[in-house]
Structure 1
Amino acid sequence: MHGEGLATPSEGDTVHKWKTSMAHNVALIEAVLAKASDSDLNIDKFEASINEFTDDDPLYDLYEAEGSITVRPTTVAERISRVLSQSLPAYSAASLRAVEEHGRPSRLVRYWLPATLLVLSSSTILRILVNRQAEIVTWLEDLGTTVIDFWRNWVVEPTRKVIKTIRHDEGSEVSIMSKRSLEGDRASLERMVVDFAIDNPPTGAPLTAPEIADIRAKVREGDLTPVLRAYEKDLARPLAGTVRGNLIRTLLIQLQKTKVDVEVAMGGIDALLKSQELVFGFVGLTPGVLVCVAAVRWLRATFAAAPSSSRRRQEGTRHLMLRQLRNVDRILTNARPTGFGELPYRDHGLLLCEVHVLRQEAERVMPKTGEFCEEIDELLDVRAGVQRQQRVVERMRWAYRVWL
């Protein structure tokens, strides 16, 4: 890169320099493609093998020539055509063979053991299925009925109740007693007290209409003074009060009063339940929804392939991106820069491979913006030096932490 082939040429030597650079690169590309597919070649000896391959190449020797260019453009074009038609297909075929040899085994190799066990135990499995056919059918029917009943009773019905509650459907209101129970018992208590007061006036004279209305108003407020006075009077002589019947009558009226008080207290609880009816509806719906979600997730994890799950695929992509970024940092840290502070050829090639995979994975999870591509281009700029490339990696680590 710092040789004369790519150096800024003088005005009179421009054509000569760029012609030699083109011929040199074509010869070098052909040599790399020829040696890269050699599986017996050691990586440490790769550069020496490339040099040996290009020593006798007339196009490569032009790099050091200072005179006129003797090779015609058609010769260089023929070499480029040979690279495209022969060298690249041969390299692709060699790569595919290497992948087939060292990559994932065939399905026969992977599944021969479970397939063999299945074949050997097929007769036993068939015998069990035939002998227990009725039990299996019954079990499947019970399972289907259980699933349907669970869906109907714990998902559909609670959902319908919640919808009725949101729409203020009176038929869906939560209640622990009937709506007219308290009014009926309170009216009955009022009539019982008024009748007792009319039958047993305090002064002995018949009650007037204003007095009866006053007693009705006091009974509505919970005041049972006429009944309590008669009750206290009969307690002094309980036998006589029992014979006359007033003692038993007052006891029954107080029993009715106790019933009304209990219903008033229950009415307060009933109002509290109605105010929180929507909460209770969602509480009743939650267990069914949780069970359905858990069942769906289990079925998806059991029967769905790993690549078909978007979330798991994205998590795997993030882990792979983080691993690739770690490999890039490792390459830059362990590299021995040249005299110009740049990466050597081997580390530069490894960096290109890791960054290529990183770019492909980033396209799956990151937004379609050009910022990440700019970072990639700056990371691959070998002329910037190793230290600057390391700073680019640090910037990528904190700038794209959300996707990593």
Structure 2
Amino acid sequence: MSLVIDHVSQVDGQLDRLQLAKQPSIPSSPELHSASDDAQNHSSPGEVGPDLTRTLKLQAAIKTLSTASSSRALLPSQAILTTLEKAKALERSVSSSAEHDEYSAQEQELEWLLVSKAATQTYGLILNVLLEQTLPLSNDIGYWNEILGSYRYTGLYTIQTSPLRLWNWANDIYRDAWQRLGSIQSAGDQEVQEQWTISDRWRQFYGLVKDSVRDRSLADMQSRFLSPLTMSRMEARSKRKRLKNLRELSASGLGILMDEGMVFDIDDESSVSSRGRSTSQDEWRSVVAKSISLMETVLGNITMLELGASEFEETVFTNVDDDSRSMQHDSEDQPASQATRLRVRLQNVLQVHVPAHISASAGLIHQYGRPSPLVRYWLPGTVLFLSSSTLLRVIVSRKAEIITWLQEFGDTTIDFWNNWVLEPLKKVIGTIRHDEDSEIAIMSKESLQGDRASLERMVVDFAIDNADVSSGARLTDAEVADVRAKVREGDLTPVLRAYERDLRRPFMGTIKGDLIRALLIQIQKTKVDVEVAVGGIDNLLKSQELVFGFVGLTPGILVCIGVSRWLSSIFAGRRGRIRGGKQGSLIRTLRNIDRILTGSTPTSNGMLSYKDHGMLLCEVHVLRERAQRVIPGEIYNEFLEDVNDLIDLRTGVERQIQVAERIRWAYLKWLR
């Protein structure tokens, strides 16, 4: 929810509380039906019962305009106008026999409540319009600050606007020449002019153009002593001054409406600005009437740039006071007719004043704001247009190469996605699910077992053969089992003894002994030892298989993230820079708030002026919108409490400065 929605919801709730306190017995629909039955039972034949259908329709219209029951807190202007038109259709005609057709007290309250609800919705609509039109002015003022802050930007602006200056100059010359030609034709002889040929007329017009150029050059002689850069800077200063004046007027109007409009001054925990007035239950109608007059006056004078902020405020309050006195003098009107008159004024505000203000503000921004994109980018657009034929020839001549490059780029992208993203991702998923096909293995599972069994058989056979040769007796089963057990533990004593014996006489051991056989058995033993070591490494890799899977997936993911961020910065970066860079970050917004508070000139009672309060509301609106994206929900509610304290005028400027400092340190984590 925005600042305007919160304020309008509060005003709407105050209206409901006033009605409940004033007439707690206003019946709902079922009670109205029961009242109708009682009236029909107890009324005489000559009496006419109340128009329950009209009352029900008025209640339905009031419900449509209520922020609590409507799906949208702020209704569009067309919806408000439609509801007011329906209320107009429900009006009773007042004839000469009005004493026999008077409004009931209940209907009068409903009509006033309808007008008050419509005034509240119109009030929120105008506040929203002023906020939306005031905030972009800072961007345009910042543009002129950049132009004036650098001669390079000033020169660029001069080049950008040179065609427009030339066009205005040529247009002035053309109009002046035509005026002179018309004066000559009106003062000359008609018969002689009829005999002129087309060439004579063009020759005369061309001479008038030369005279106009010469006269204008003499008139602009003083400006010749100024360089184009100086003239551009003077123009930029003038437009910046106009925009600042418009922003001050808009801020003053916003502050006046927030401080003086629809202020019933009912005790409320979430009350936004109040200047110490008290509104009784019998005065709420005058508050509504004054607020409608205030909206009309503010919208009618807010685009008058010749007024300063103080003059604008004085004009607004003078007109509102005059309008209030004129309404007080008209005391013979009934309350119902006053409500009708206010309804008509609301319709006039929505149909005339609001569109006129939007159109006038847009015209001023177009006149004094930054130049249009056509003016700013005509030079590169012209260069691109003039070189388009050359670019087209280059593209056509290298069409095959470009198509091949695009195809290879597409194939490379697809292969990268498949080989470096999808495949590693599948392996990681298979590892998590203990897929046997995905396990890392340097050697097969049965390789080590086969080599160990082979080594065991080789050593046992060698021990049996050597025992027969040396002692002539065969090894027993117990001895063979002992040899097998030692081989499993890596003990090759029988083989090593024979190997040591044959090494004493290597030649004879090779021919008659078992030197080669012992050597081959030791090679098999070395092979088994290597496989055991590799098996340990294999087990280590299997225990860290998930880590290696993520390591293989990381390069592809990093490349994808980098490319996506690069693309997002290209396509969405400009809009982000406009919103973030131009309006500022949260810290910059807080800096603007602190600057407004510390640089303000408080009133006699220590409160902010209307202009400063309007500027503060604009910055707080930006702060709330930006903080909602980064601050968590529960903490954001606390943030809103501090923001409400920040814009509460009753606390005074010194207290508001302290609140701004509290916001700065309390939410530092999300403001970085």
**TM-score (normalised: structure 2):** 0.50
| Residue identity (%) | 55
Following TM superposition, by how much is the alpha carbon of 1:105 offset from its aligned partner in structure 2, in angstroms? 3.6
The answer for the alignment partner of 1:194 in structure 2 is 460
What is the number of residues matched between the two proteins? 387
> Which residue does the alignment assign to 1:142?
408
Give the CA deviation at 1:244. 0.9
CA 1:273–1:122: 2 relative to 1, 3 Å: same
Q: Is the 8 A contact 2:464 2:475 kept in 1?
A: no
Over the aligned positions, Cα root-mean-square deviation in angstroms equals 3.9
Q: CA deviation at 1:54?
A: 4.9
2:655 counterpart (381, 388, 394): 388
Please show how residues 3-402 of structure 1 align to structure 2 within 5 Å.
31-43=297-309, 45-47=311-313, 54=319, 58-59=322-323, 70-72=329-331, 77=341, 80=345, 86-201=352-467, 203-210=470-477, 211-304=479-572, 306-307=574-575, 319-359=584-624, 361=626, 367=633, 372=639, 374-402=641-669
* Counterparts of 2:552 and 2:290, CA distance in 1: 78
Alpha-carbon distance in 2 for matches of 1:198, 1:22: 119
Equivalent position SS for 1:200: helix
Structure 2: how far apart are the matches of 1:182 and 1:20?
A: 100
Change (3 A) 1:198 1:143: same
1:54-86 Cα deviation digits (max 9, x unpaired): 59x8547789xxxxx534467995795666655
CA contact (8 A) 1:33 1:88 kept: yes
Q: Which runs of 5+ in 1 are unaligned?
A: 64-68
Query: Matched residues in 1 for 2:519 and 2:338: separation?
Result: 127
Alpha-carbon offset, residue 176 of structure 1: 1.6
Residue identity matched to 2:593? V
Describe the shift of the 1:46–1:264 C-alpha distance in structure 2 as closer, same or farther (beyond 3 A): same
Answer yes or no: is the 8 Å Cα contact 1:231–1:250 preserved in 2. yes
Q: Relative CO higher for 1 or 2, CA cutoff 8 Å, sep ≥ 6? A: 2
- Cα deviation per residue 1:259-317 (whole Å; 9 max; x = unaligned)? 2122222221121112111211111111111112212222222234544x7xx899669
Give, in whole Å, the separation in 2 of the partners of 1:403 and 1:371: 13
Q: Do 1:28 and 1:60's aligned partners in 2 also have CA atoms closer than 8 Å?
A: no
Counterparts in 2 of 1:261 and 1:342: CA distance versus 1, 3 Å: closer
Structure 2 segments unaligned to the other structure (5+ residues): 1-258, 260-275
- Give deviations 1:207-246, integer Å, cap 9, x for gaps: 1332223222222222222211211211222221111141
Q: Distance in 2 between matches of 1:95 and 1:390?
A: 32
**Cα distance, 1:305–1:348 mapped onto 2, change above 3 Å:** closer
Is the deviation greater in 374-383 or in 143-152? Answer: 374-383
TM-score by length of 1: 0.79
Kept in 2, the 8 Å contact 1:314–1:365? The answer is no
In 2, the alpha carbon distance for the partners of 1:233 and 1:318 equals 94
Using the alignment, how far apart are the partners of 2:519 and 2:420 within structure 1? 48
* Counterparts of 1:232 and 1:131, CA distance in 2: 83
The one-letter amino acid of 2:364's match is A
Contact 1:34 1:91 in 2 (8 A): yes
Contact 1:198 1:206 in 2 (8 A): no
